[in-house]
Every structure is written in C-alpha cells, then in structure tokens.
Structure 1
Amino acid sequence: MFANERGGILITAQVEERAREIEESRRPLRCVTFIRDDFKIEDAKEVIGEAYKSEENTKTLILGAKSFTVPAQNALLKILEEPPRNIVFILLAPNKSTFLPTVRSRLSLTQEHHQLIHEALPVSLKNLDLSGLFAFVKEHERFKKHEAKGLIEQLMYQAIHVEKLSLTTLQLEGFEKALRLIELNSRFQSVLVMVLMNFLKEVKRGR
C-alpha cells in the first residue's frame, strides 16, 4: 500500500474501511486507530501521548478523518518527522488538499482510484522573472476560492513533480500559508504574488 514500511498518507473515500483493513493486515502487531470526523488539536495530543508509550514491537497509529485542522497538523509535524522507535504513522483522508504541504513532505502519499492529472501551467518556476510573475498573476487574479486552492495545488505539483525542484522550507511554508489565506477569503492576487515571490528570490540568489 505504501512505498515503505514507515507508513504514509492514504487518500481514500473509505476511511473507516481502509483503517480496518490496515489493522487486519498488520496482525499480530498492534494498531491503535483514531477515527474522527474532524481531527482536532486534542486528538493530536492523544496521538502524541500514545506514540511515546514504549513498545518492543512495531506499533501502527492510524489517524483517519474527513478533515484535519491546521493546529492538529502543526502539532503532529515534529513526531511525524522523527517518530519514536517502533512507531509507524498512517494518515487517512478523502482529499489530498486536507493535508498541509509540510505534512505531505514528511510522508509518502498514495491515492486510490484516479489521481488528479494537472495540466502544465504557463509559467516556469525554475526560471521565473518579474514579467512572467505579473503576467501569470494578472491571468489568474479573479479566481474563486475553489479555483484558487486548485491553482496553488497545481503550482506545488508543478514545482515538485514537473520541474523537480528541491523546495526550501520557505517555499513549502508559502504554499501552506497560501491555502490558509484562501480559506480566510484573502485577496487571491496578493496570495499568488506571495507564493511566486519565493521562487523569484530563489532564482536571483542562484545567479
């Protein structure tokens, strides 16, 4: 199911069913499952407490929810990056956009059924200049909220999978902040400029 035995993220419409299947597949090793409608900060604290209970054998922590709040994901970041000995994390959710870019950068991601195919965007993040930045922003400044979130996802996909850039922490956090600002109904033109400026600066430093 995952690229390695350390677990990962599974995007599925059948969260509870997949959690049960994972439990069965890992027997006789222990699994502790946390299924919620909305995974909140108190749930994250419960998971962290369970993760630090010492285990002689591998223990899998399964976290499944329709949505994961930003505070909950931020609370889990450190332990996902450096899990305690013999602890494996598996996160389940219906949509990839549920997870912050910083969470996705720490775990392998598997998506059931047909993965979304992103069309190539008319911008090169690797070679971005000011004229290209402003032309791209002008073309997309009037996007609605769902379109805006989709475009940010496309930009991240293009950076990682198409242009194969090694993203800096600043660039990853820029994508994450953009998705939060869009949810708060911030002006998309400003959000898009913020994301793209991180790549413009990177080009200038490389020259």
Structure 2
Amino acid sequence: MNETELQFRTAAFGGFQKQDVLTYLETSAREQAEKLSALQRELEEAKKGKAEAEEKASAEEKRLSTLEEENKRLAADLADREASLSKLSAERADLAAQVAGLTQEVKKLTPAAASYEAIKDRTAGIELEAHGRAQAIEQEAQAKVKKTKAEMECWFGKLQSAYSRLRADLDATITHASGELDRVNQSLEGISREFDAHDAALKALQETVETLSGPKAPQPLPLEEK
C-alpha cells in the first residue's frame, strides 16, 4: 500500500476523519478475509488431490501383490510340469534298458535256436513284439514330451507377457504418482509463500493502525481555503 492511499481527509478540528479510517480498515479486513478463504480452498483441494494420489498408489500396490501371487502359482505349476517331464524321461530310459536287455537275451538264444526252428521262430516273434512295444512306448513318450514342452512354452510366454504388462503399468503408475506429488508440493510451497506475504502485510497494517491511534499522530493537512 503506497503513501497516497494512507492519506485520509482531515477533520474540521484537526486529525483524520474517523469514517475514512474505519472504511479503510473494513475494506482491508474484507479483502484479507477473501484472500485467506481462497487460499484455504486451494489448500483443501491440494490435500484432496494428494489423498487421491495416495489412494491410487495403494490400489496399484495391491494389484502388484496379486500379480506376484499369480506369478508364484505359475512358477509352482511350471516346477510340477518339469518334474513330470523328468519322470517321463526316466521311464523312457527304463524302457530303453528293458529293450536292451531283451535284445541281449535274444542274442544269447540265437545260437541255440539255430537247431530248433520252433524256438527260433518264437524268439523272433518275441523280439519283434518287444521291439514293436518299445517303439510304441518310445513314440508315446516322445509325444508326451513334445506336448508338455509346448504347454510349458505357452505358459512361459503368457507369464512373460503378464510380467511385461505389470512392469509397464507399475512404471506408469509410479511416474504419474510422482508427478502428482511434485505438483502438490509445489502448490503447498506457493501457498506457504502467499501466507508469509499476507502475514507481512497484516503486520504492516497493524503497525499503521497503531501509529494512527497512538500519541504521535501525524500532522493534519491544512484545510482547503474556500
């Protein structure tokens, strides 16, 4: 407030006119009250925005926890599939050993079967049957292994895609929340500076009022000559 605005009309018998001073004080108080009310509304809106940002961050943390639990479940399922595949591989190796044993037995029986045509035919039939069974079992085991491998690759692809989406959503959420918090902090700092400025203005106004009402009143301006 400049020096011109502080000059009041003088009364007829010295001093300032009381109504001018009261009007000035009422106007100043009303303006300060309106500014304080506006600042209070801005502060409430900033607090509300901060609360909403914190609530959204909490929801995203819950979502992340749910996805992590799903990831653990899929990892356990994958471990079970790997155990099944290992078991199938062991069964295949056992069948291969049985085939090798049967082959060795056939080789041992072949010299004796040379004199006994019936035994030879029987041995050949057993060998062929065993070989056919071994091939059928091996083909079935290979089919199971291929199927299990394809399922594992499909699940792994889904798991990797879900993780990529989760990571992208989390990064976006963190970036948005960080921006919102920065904006709220800047708004609060601005409000704090506004309050400091208003405090200084009120202090200056109080000092002016004390000066006007104290024993050292300013010299009244001379009356205008008619």
Give the structure, 1 or 2, with the largest relative contact order (CA under 8 Å, sep 6 or more): 2
Pairwise TM-score range, normalised by the shorter structure: under 0.3
Point out the structure with the larger helix share: 2
Point out the structure with the larger strand share: 1
Q: TM-score, structure 2 length as denominator?
A: 0.17
Q: TM-score, structure 1 length as denominator?
A: 0.18
